[in-house]
Chain A
């Protein structure tokens, strides 16, 4: 058994939150630069230029990239030979989240669903974090983190299709979701598509698909082809950066597919704005 101190996890989580608040990941920055070069509309080109300038200012001056600093979302793989000394792993992640959000002057955006009362003084500053756990072999903890903003989350959707809908049905559905969303999710976007599993498995897969680096290839050639096909279709919609019209609505489409029930074809579309604050660490 490997013992990891509770505070080691707290600090690691705090550090990635502070970093992600102000530093746009390189994969996203590079993809935006490429989009700016290839964008046909001068208005959208200027929007992407501002997005890149914003990223430079945020990094240099340690200012939050966006005022919506998101809910903290984690995918955590815990090795079966790991023991946390001094507390629960979940509590350590929440504590690190609260510390990171407070210290980096990020916004507390969690609230009670009906009264809309902010939870910062009751549950904690921007708590609770959304944590998806998995148990794997080994003596390490693997943490993937993203700050997920509301604008792009609000346009996300899931639906269970009959199996006959097939690939064509999925492509049409993703197009419809993105077309209806227009400029609301702050394009250029990344589109996560979760296919198969059950209703909730598809949704979680579509979220996890967004953690993959933009520009990385799907290892499954069939899914890779489908990603390219959907990307082309989305970019034909003409939405453009911030919806102002253009050819670079999406930077990438990422698919995660799972086995599913013989009776159903669940599909979930989770949208990520250009402020794609995500990272990955191993403890």
Chain B
């Protein structure tokens, strides 16, 4: 298991070297979106309309942060459960997005899309909202402010700690890890 430091936007060259279980410190810009925002983004893509951000090489963070305290860019900001984005993620990857950050297992369609379009599904530590929020140095709502915590935000991160769950080679850390530690009677 290797350790990397990567800066967004990610290229296929970046993502192809990553293997399930590797740890990565991410730097640069991430875009936040949960289910409600994803359904709108995917609709824009289907209608051939412009997205509120450049999707090429983008990394999407599945998060709905707490309100920031005065003076802070953002509140606590840990990952939300990812399966709710399963129906949308393949479209995002097909259109150039290269990474997703969330928690919990993904569908076979998402794993296949990671292989086909050089995408990575990263896991961040769920419930570590205070720690992860501190690695976010700026945040700006760029679309759908009416969705509140679910609005699309452009955030800047510094050494944001994630683990590769699904890589571009079809590996799945959740499966591998569990097989390794499962005790069969």
Contacts and interface: CB of A to CB of B under 8 A. Distances in A.
Nearest to A246: B181
Nearest to B133: A63
A237 B174 CA distance: 12
Given A63-B133, A247-B181, A50 B174 contact: no
Given A238-B180, A245-B180, A182 B36 contact: no
Interface string A242-261: 11111100000000000000
A236 interface: yes
Interface stretch (A66-74, A132-140, A195-203): A66-74
Contacts, number: 167
Interface residues of B, number: 49
Contacts of A50: 125, 128, 131, 161
Contact of A61 (B65, B67, B105, B130): B130
B104 A64 contact: no
A218 to B, nearest CB: 24
Contact of A43 (B21, B65, B130): B21
Contact of A245 (B67, B76, B80, B178): B178
Interface string A56-85: 011001011111110000000000000000
A193 interface: no
Nearest to B65: A67
A67 B66 contact: yes
Interface in B135-164: 148-149, 161, 163
Nearest to B123: A242
A243 B178 contact: yes
Contacts of A242: 103, 123, 125-126
A238 B68 contact: no
A237 B184 CA distance: 8
Nearest to A102: B67
A66 B127 CA distance: 5
Contacts of B78: 66-68
B129 to A, nearest CB: 4
A51 B128 contact: yes
A281 interface: no
A149 B67 CA distance: 16
B127 A116 contact: no
B174 A182 contact: yes
Contacts of A41: 177, 180-181
A165 interface: no
Interface of B: 1, 21, 23, 36, 63-69, 75-78, 80-81, 83, 103-105, 123, 125-134, 148-149, 161, 163, 165, 173-174, 176-185
Across the A-B interface, give the 6 residue pairs with the lowest CB-CB distance, nearest first.
A245-B177, A238-B182, A238-B181, A236-B183, A184-B104, A54-B128
Given A58-B129, A63-B129, A244-B173, 7 more contacts: A64-B75, A67-B80, A154-B81, A186-B127, A242-B125, A242-B126, A273-B127
